[in-house]
Structure 1
Amino acid sequence: MHGNNPGVVVPPPPEKQALNRFETNFVESRRAALEKMLNKIAAHPTLQHDSDLKLFLESEAFNVDVKHKERKEPIPSESKGMLGSFGISVGGGSKFVEQDDWFHDRRVYLDALENQLKALMKSMDTMVNQRKAMAESASDFSLSLNALSTVELSPTLSGPLDALSELQLTIRDVYDRQAQQDVLTFGITIDEYIRLIGSVKQAFSQRQKAFHSWHSAENELQKRKASQEKLLRQGRSQQDRLNQVGAEVADAERKVHQARLLFEDMGRLMRAELDRFEREKVEDFKSSVETFLESAVEAQKELIEKWETFLMQLDAEDDETVFYRPPVIRTADKVAGRGDTAVERARATIDEDSD
């Protein structure tokens, strides 16, 4: 698609991985990233008409159709497809020095943005790994509590320990789910824009090649004109050769004109593409940050609710079905000050007075 549409920022697919590529969380995150990529390509005013996209989405025998298309239309290499169709050579040329301040500023900005996003992605990975570590710790804590509850003889203690063990398992599930949710919301967006910056830089590279092709065509034109002037100084004795060189000069002038127009058109296209990139970046990050925060709030609410429920069960002294009932304290002990609270001691005193 880069070759078909030089200057267009093509949303790239997510990276593959050699290890654990069938692991559930990785498969789900890559599926979500591929879905975002396809939606962006399909919504792009230029890319949505690309023949390769149409083949990918509509073909019922994709592998066969791709091989047939490759034999019929060899895949163009970046801007070579468009420039080569006009007979314009595509080469690296000398080192490119940006003359347009707008493009220079955007390139500096993109380099800084890429470094910031990579640092953010590293921090994001650290946070996700910490959530997974907390989930593992909760699981280990649950196993230890369960083991202790099985050897504890007192039912007033073994019951709460067993219930706390079950609670830690649910907490583990919350941490695991939150870690995956972080990847599927904020993490995917960060990774997507790191890859998108790579596509923007590839468009910059195509523009540079178009610039070198333009100047290469100009150099070729100067050579043709020099040959023409040399023949003109030699007189009319080589009229046939002069006519041939004149045709070559006209052809070289046409190529220079086309190469210059392609370079200018690519510049205008890239300005529009970078404006689109900025608009979508703001919208995507705003949406993903909101979803990330909402997910974090919901996870904390769920944890609080689970702990509150557990504490309510511990405090429900009058419920016959609860797993824990406080031991009964004798009245004499309460009067002696060994009760749990001042209220209980006062009630014990009242009971003795009644007696």
Structure 2
Amino acid sequence: MSGGTPKTLCSSGQRSLQEICHPLSAEDSSVLTPSPDVGTAAATGSIGEKDLSLPNGTPVDTSSPASSSSLLNRLQLDDDLDGETRDLFVTVDDPRKHVSTMETYITYRVSTKTTRAEFDLPEYSVRRRYQDFDWLRIKLEESQPTHLIPPLPEKFVMKGVVDRFSEEFVETRRKALDKFLKRVADHPVLSFNEHFSVFLSAKDLNAYKKQGLALLTKMGESVKYVTGGYKLRGRPVEFAAMGEYLDVFTQKLGTIDRIAQRIIKEQSEYLVELKEYGPVYSSWASFEAELQEPLEGVAGCVANCCSALEELTEEMCEDFLPVLREYVLYIESMKNVLKKRDQVQAEYETKLEAVAFRKEERSGMPTDVEKCQDRMECFNADLKADWDRWQNNKRQDFRQLLTGMADKNIQYYEKCLAAWESLIPLLQDKQENGKPETN
């Protein structure tokens, strides 16, 4: 994205029905397929003594956890290089807690660097709280109704179980807010929205909240058109397929989220047991002089496994689950845009029927009908462009998510294996020392 001017998304480009309908298309399955570079690296000597393969012939990389981390870094680098030239960079960091007589809240520093002519300065640094981000998203929805607006993290903590001022919660929210602004900044249309510019640069955002901005919202007004219960003749096939895809994707994410929650719960319960299990061996060692070293070694192994499991569980809570929740919210946003598109189509069809009822010729179609048709076509083009962008982001996000999950599991099992392997020499030495002497 360069040049300082917004790109129009009204285009005739369309994806095939097969690509839209199937959640796990060939393109999506590339998430689980190593890149040629990875295969080449494995073939040039990073494997080790043996080259292992699965029953289907797929080679297995038996390198150390460090190599899996480098794979994750390479994938992240590839994602950055695949993007367009950027001229707007936004970062959310430095959360701070504010306590007043009326309320307690957290603000975040929003830093911006840009070369765009619309900004008076090349750099900005402002502080924003959650409700400011919420204001921005509402304004983007109102002024850009034909586009998919990225979701914000949920405002309220479910069931009040989590302390919203804890470091863990604040950091999770910071990451989500940072991702929200980066998605808006990378969008070829949303990033040029006037509300977004004000959010990034205004020292006093409350002044803009009170007075509002004089933006053109004709499209927004048209979307608010009430069709009086009019039933569509039918969504175009490609948009119907989008709706079906979102329904299936929702089910899949919901199932994964529920199972992941159970896994985390079971890991937490197992962790509690391990923390009680290890000290028993330490206590036992104090009564057994001859077995003291092996027993203390077992206690140390259990402690190391506890530490590794704790890290794995934290990673799932802080990195894996938030991505699932973000895409659940993303699906709701996409469904809302589809509903708005249906409203515009319903308005267009209603006007067409009114013209037909008056038996007017198409060549004499009223101007308002033609304008409504233009709005619908532009809406369709914008939605399809945002759909393609969303699918691309989804592939990158889940590729990074699954690679990171694999990397963390490898590290967990490697740490547990190393802990128990370190105990074997101690047990063997004890066995040798315990053998009776023979003449």
Alignment of 1:293 onto 2:429: no
Partner of 2:271: 135
Equivalence map 1:275-286=2 (5 Å): 275-286=388-399
Partner of 1:321: none
CA distance in structure 2 between the partners assigned to 1:47 and 1:75 by the alignment: 14
Equivalence map 1:20-169=2 (5 Å): 20=162, 21-62=164-205, 64-68=206-210, 71-73=211-213, 81-83=217-219, 90-93=225-228, 94-150=230-286, 152=287, 154-169=288-303
Equivalence map 1:1-355=2 (5 Å): 1-15=140-154, 16-17=156-157, 18-20=160-162, 21-62=164-205, 64-68=206-210, 71-73=211-213, 81-83=217-219, 90-93=225-228, 94-150=230-286, 152=287, 154-215=288-349, 253-315=366-428, 317=429, 328-331=434-437, 348=438, 352=439
Shift of 1:158: 3.3
Residues 313 and 28 (structure 1 numbering): CA distance in 2 closer, same or farther, change over 3 Å? Answer: farther
Native 8 Å contact 1:29 1:183 kept in 2: no
Native 8 Å contact 2:345 2:376 kept in 1: yes
Residue 225 of structure 2 aligns to a residue whose secondary structure is: coil
Native 8 Å contact 1:59 1:65 kept in 2: no
Shift of 1:157: 2.2
CA distance in structure 2 between the partners assigned to 1:268 and 1:278 by the alignment: 15
Residues 104 and 305 (structure 1 numbering): CA distance in 2 closer, same or farther, change over 3 Å? Answer: same
CA distance in structure 2 between the partners assigned to 1:161 and 1:196 by the alignment: 52
Of Structure 1 and Structure 2, the greater strand share is in 2
Q: Report Cα offsets for 1:215-270 as digits up to 9, x if no partner.
A: 555678799x89xxxxxxxxxxxxxxxxxxxxxxx9x9443332221111001111
Tell which structure's C-alpha radius of gyration is larger.
Answer: 1
Native 8 Å contact 1:134 1:175 kept in 2: no
Shift of 1:144: 2.7
Q: Report Cα offsets for 1:300-349 as digits up to 9, x if no partner.
A: 1111111112333444x4xxxxxx78655542xxxxxxxxxxxxxxxx2x
Shift of 1:149: 3.4
Q: CA-atom RMSD, angstroms? A: 3.1
Residues 328 and 265 (structure 1 numbering): CA distance in 2 closer, same or farther, change over 3 Å? Answer: closer
Native 8 Å contact 2:278 2:302 kept in 1: yes
Q: Which moved more, 1:20-29 or 1:35-44?
A: 20-29
Residues 173 and 330 (structure 1 numbering): CA distance in 2 closer, same or farther, change over 3 Å? Answer: closer
CA distance in structure 2 between the partners assigned to 1:302 and 1:25 by the alignment: 24
Residues 142 and 74 (structure 1 numbering): CA distance in 2 closer, same or farther, change over 3 Å? Answer: farther
CA distance in structure 2 between the partners assigned to 1:10 and 1:44 by the alignment: 10
Native 8 Å contact 1:156 1:326 kept in 2: no
Number of residue pairs matched by the alignment: 291
CA distance in structure 2 between the partners assigned to 1:14 and 1:279 by the alignment: 21
Structure 2 unmatched ranges of 5 or more:
1-139
CA distance in structure 2 between the partners assigned to 1:72 and 1:293 by the alignment: 47
CA distance in structure 2 between the partners assigned to 1:221 and 1:83 by the alignment: 22
Native 8 Å contact 1:84 1:90 kept in 2: no
Residues 32 and 330 (structure 1 numbering): CA distance in 2 closer, same or farther, change over 3 Å? Answer: same
Identity %: 18
Residue 155 of structure 1 aligns to a residue whose secondary structure is: coil
CA distance in structure 1 between the partners assigned to 2:269 and 2:231 by the alignment: 49
